[in-house]
């Protein structure tokens, strides 16, 4: 089946409901493929988010849609479904104490130990790019001050939609209202069209980040790089405790001994069997 937008003939698309069996089937698939628990209270949210996919593919009910998704012809639709279901919320310089700790503690220690080595960072669950671009801005400042030789940032997310936005790197002006003016002038390009209230990350910063689609539920993490720092913030909050522990252990396999691991403010590794020691709230080090 080819994907094309057709105007629906009725309002059936707007009122399609997931039957208990279809919801159970879909939520099991989401958990297996993405590690995200979808309890019954999420049913209405999922119905609402998937309505547009039903319209685009000209399905009037979820039963037929799911039959297509799980058929041999629906593998491409799985990516679109994941994009719609996943939640992506982020900001520039979110949880600023992490970037302060990076500048004041992590980088001086890294340079003292490794001198001219390139710093490798993984932004795992990067959403639309605000986190890795913030890292690139902070680290570029340190490079310009000769406090760091160089760095590379690998940024991943499961959603192709947000990754496309991240690569383009265009944001509404209201996304940068709290950023200091000196940073805005240095790293953001303002649209020349007065009616277009948007900014774009400058090329120098865009070039420092490599974006790629990645699923934490994959059995193996194929990248060959061992990272010095991993940011995995406000991602595992959507997983159950067992899945959180599994994901963190797999991430830590790609983190060098002594490397730093950053979680989001509402996430914790308490009582988990993971190779991390607590340094500060939501900041850990691989042991």
In tens, the pLDDT along 232-253 reads: 998 888 788 899 999 999 999 9
The rounded distance, in Å, linking the Cα atoms of 148 and 141 is 9
The matching CATH number, chosen from 3.90.1300.10, 3.40.50.150, 3.40.50.300, 3.30.390.10, for 96-286 is: 3.40.50.150
The rounded distance, in Å, linking the Cα atoms of 243 and 235 is 12
Are 247 and 276 spatial neighbours (Cβ–Cβ below 8 Å)?
no
Range from 37-46, 62-71, 98-107, 219-228 carrying the lowest mean pLDDT: 37-46
How far, rounded to the nearest angstrom, does the alpha carbon of residue 220 sit from its chain's CA centroid? Answer: 18
- For 40-99, how does the pLDDT look when each residue is reduced to its tens digit (9 = 90+)? 888 888 888 888 888 888 888 888 999 898 888 777 788 888 877 776 668 899 999 999
pTM score, whole prediction = 0.78
CATH topology of domain 12-85: Chemotaxis Receptor Methyltransferase Cher; domain 1 (1.10.155)
The DSSP 8-state label assigned to residue 287 in this structure reads -
Domain boundaries, the chain: 12-85, 96-286
The rounded distance, in Å, linking the Cα atoms of 212 and 87 is 18
Are 234 and 266 spatial neighbours (Cβ–Cβ below 8 Å)?
yes
Q: Over pLDDT 70: what percentage of the chain?
A: 94
Give which of 51, 18, 46, 48 is closest to 34, Cα–Cα: 46
For the four alpha carbons of 11, 73, 68 and 46, in that order, the dihedral sign comes to negative
Residue 195's alpha-carbon distances to 172, 190, 252, in angstroms, are 12, 11, 46
Range from 11-20, 159-168, 275-284 carrying the lowest mean pLDDT: 11-20
Are 191 and 248 spatial neighbours (Cβ–Cβ below 8 Å)?
no
């Amino acid at each position: 089946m080819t994907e094309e937008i057709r105007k629906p003939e009725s309002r059936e698309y707007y009122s399609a409901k997931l039957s208990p069996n279809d919801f159970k089937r879909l939520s099991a698939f989401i958990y297996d493929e993405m590690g995200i628990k979808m309890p019954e209270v999420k049913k209405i949210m999922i119905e609402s988010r998937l309505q547009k996919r039903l319209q685009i593919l000209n399905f009037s009910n979820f039963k037929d849609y799911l039959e297509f998704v799980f058929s041999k012809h629906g593998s491409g639709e799985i990516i679109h479904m994941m994009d719609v279901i996943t939640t992506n919320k982020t900001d520039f310089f979110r949880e600023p104490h992490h970037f302060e700790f990076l500048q004041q503690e992590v980088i001086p220690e890294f340079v003292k130990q490794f001198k001219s080595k390139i710093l490798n960072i993984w932004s795992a669950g990067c959403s639309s790019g605000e986190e890795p671009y913030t890292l690139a801005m902070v680290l570029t400042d340190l490079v310009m001050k000769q406090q760091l030789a160089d760095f590379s940032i690998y940024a991943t997310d499961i959603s192709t939609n947000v990754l496309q936005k991240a690569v383009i790197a265009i944001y509404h002006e209201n996304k940068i209202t709290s950023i200091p003016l000196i940073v805005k002038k240095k790293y953001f390009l303002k649209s020349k069209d007065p009616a277009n209230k948007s900014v774009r990350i400058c090329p120098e910063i865009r070039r420092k980040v490599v974006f790629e689609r990645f699923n934490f539920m994959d059995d193996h993490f194929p990248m060959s790089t061992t990272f010095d720092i991993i940011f995995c913030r406000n991602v595992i909050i959507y997983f159950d405790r067992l899945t959180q522990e599994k994901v963190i252990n797999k991430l830590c396999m790609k983190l060098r001994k002594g490397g730093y691991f950053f979680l989001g403010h509402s996430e914790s590794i308490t009582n988990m069997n993971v190779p991390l020691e607590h340094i500060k709230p939501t900041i850990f080090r691989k042991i």
